[in-house]
Amino acid sequence: MRAVAVAHPNVALVKYWGKRARAGNLPATGSLSLVLGGLATETSVDFDPALARDRVLLDGREDPETTSRVTACLDLLRGEAGVSARAAVLSRNDFPTGAGLASSASGFAALVTAGAGALGLHLKPQRLAEIARLGSGSAPRSLLGGVVLLTNRGQTTVCEQVAAPADWPLEIVVAVTTSGPKATSSREGMARSEQTSPYYDSWVQTHGGDLEAGLAAVRARDFPALADIAEHNCLKMHAVMLTTRPPLIYWTPATLACLHRVQELRRDGVPVFFTVDAGPQVKAVCLPGVAGDVAAALAAVPGVLQVLRSPLGEGARLRANAD
């Protein structure tokens, strides 16, 4: 009753910020993302009848909020398998946790993959995605690889791969500007934005057009068009965050300096664009061949602590011969 799974974080190009319903953690809008194959979460799930409750260690630490989300996902898996045993869950990220690098997405994608594997379940991908979504709305996107589209359909969400990593081998450079966890979780931040930002309604109303434009750009492999819509959608989400009360200011001075640097590089003819999630790190998406130059340029920006390079990655999978 034990299995180990690996999943990669993803970064949204057309983003999810806000919920249609708290029950089922249904997003207000669809989203389009890239899976970052160079960063990984490895999670083991061990169902053990001797345990009185689920025990969850994330990078060696226990956190009640994470444990209750994990238990919600595991309860559904236990229900599918007709098993009541509690589980010991160990999860490790090889990148900074909870600082806007989508660790919850890779974490819950790895969790449900390992949990289903440990119970010997062969669930339909759609069911697994619904269980992962309870943990984190962006987690279903990490179950698949490459470029992934998540859309709302009735009372659920559906994910599909739009391009495999080999179809359009984009590279991502991550500029890390702060290593600690963020002050406000996405879940709490979204709830606050829905209630208080005067821009939230326009964010939702204009989102369908952004998603269509992003999807068309990926399908046509039109990098300039993707750069245009991804930067616009990112800044629009941050406009909602900034106008939330109390405000959600995820950027540091180094974040902003990186955004300027990426725009300068593009003006100089380098095919790169930026995006930033609910944290201070900047992700620079590059056409093949320029990631080395972009990484060097961002490493030289004052305040950048570390630069990571990543190709597109595969979806979550069980690790064979887990020990």
Residues in contact with ligand DP6 by the rule CB under 6 A:
12, 15-17, 25, 31, 102, 104-105, 136-138, 186-187, 277-278
Least separation in angstroms between CB 277 and ligand DP6: 4
Least separation in angstroms between CB 240 and ligand DP6: 10
Least separation in angstroms between CB 55 and ligand DP6: 21
Q: Which of 97/138 has CB closer to ligand DP6?
A: 138
Q: Which of 16/47 has CB closer to ligand DP6?
A: 16
Helix 223-242 vs helix 207-219: crossing angle, to nearest 10: 150
Q: Which of 1/239 has CB closer to ligand DP6?
A: 239
Q: Which of 100/117 has CB closer to ligand DP6?
A: 100
Residue type for 288, please? P
Least separation in angstroms between CB 274 and ligand DP6: 14
Q: Which of 15/78 has CB closer to ligand DP6?
A: 15
Q: Which of 114/150 has CB closer to ligand DP6?
A: 150
Q: Decide: residue 237, CB within 10 A, 0-12 exposed, 13-18 middle, 19+ buried.
A: buried
Q: Which of 73/102 has CB closer to ligand DP6?
A: 102
Max CA distance (Å), the chain: 62
Least separation in angstroms between CB 270 and ligand DP6: 25
Q: Give the 3-state secondary structure of the chain.
A: CEEEEEECCEEEEECCCCEEECCCCEECCCEEEEEECCCCEEEEEEEECCCCCCEEEECCECCHHHHHHHHHHHHHHHHHHCCCCEEEEEEEECCCCCCCCCHHHHHHHHHHHHHHHHCCCCCCHHHHHHHHHHHCCCCHHHHCCCEEEEEEECCEEEEEEEECCCCCCCEEEEEECCCCCCCCCHHHHHHHHHHHCCCHHHHHHCHHHHHHHHHHHHHCCCHHHHHHHHHHHHHHHHHHHHCCCCCCCCCCHHHHHHHHHHHHHHHCCCCEEEECCCCCCEEEEECCCCHHHHHHHHHCCCCCCEEEEEEECCCCEECCCCC
Least separation in angstroms between CB 59 and ligand DP6: 17
Q: Which of 63/293 has CB closer to ligand DP6?
A: 63
Least separation in angstroms between CB 51 and ligand DP6: 25
Least separation in angstroms between CB 278 and ligand DP6: 4
Residue from 68, 60, 115 nearest 92 by CA: 60
Closest CB to ligand DP6: residue number = 137
Q: Which residues contact 269 (CB under 8 A, 6 or more apart)?
A: none
Q: Which of 70/265 has CB closer to ligand DP6?
A: 70
Least separation in angstroms between CB 208 and ligand DP6: 15
